[in-house]
Amino acid sequence: MSTLSIDLRQDMSAAKLTIGELEAGYPLYCKALRRLILKGKSAKEIERTICWGHLETLNRCLPGRYKAPAYLMALIKRDIQEPKD
């Protein structure tokens, strides 16, 4: 194995977050999702982001506590289109 592939593997394993760390970041992931939508990013572009991946992981591990990212995106889009007074 080359040194580069070993280094990449070490970097990838160091980037893994615990569920507790993901839960702590949930408000930030939702805020990032809202900003991406406000910037006019397409659904495909948003689905390739880190925040989308973290939201998917939370939903997969704790579905009773965290909604699917696609559902959150629909809620945010609705909220943007129909702002409350």
State which residues form the domain around 45: 18-81
* Confidence (pLDDT) at 59: 97
Contact 76, 37 (CB under 8 A): yes
Is residue 4 situated within a structural domain? no
Q: Decide if 1 is inside a domain.
A: no
Q: What is the pTM of this model?
A: 0.78
**Burial of 48: CB neighbours in 10 Å, binned 0-12, 13-18, 19+:** exposed
Structural domain total, the chain: 1
Phi/psi of residue 78, nearest 5 degrees: -65, -40
Q: What is the reported pLDDT for 47?
A: 97
- Residues 27-85 have pLDDT tens digits of 999 999 999 999 999 999 999 999 999 999 999 999 999 999 999 999 999 999 986 76
pLDDT of residue 84: 72
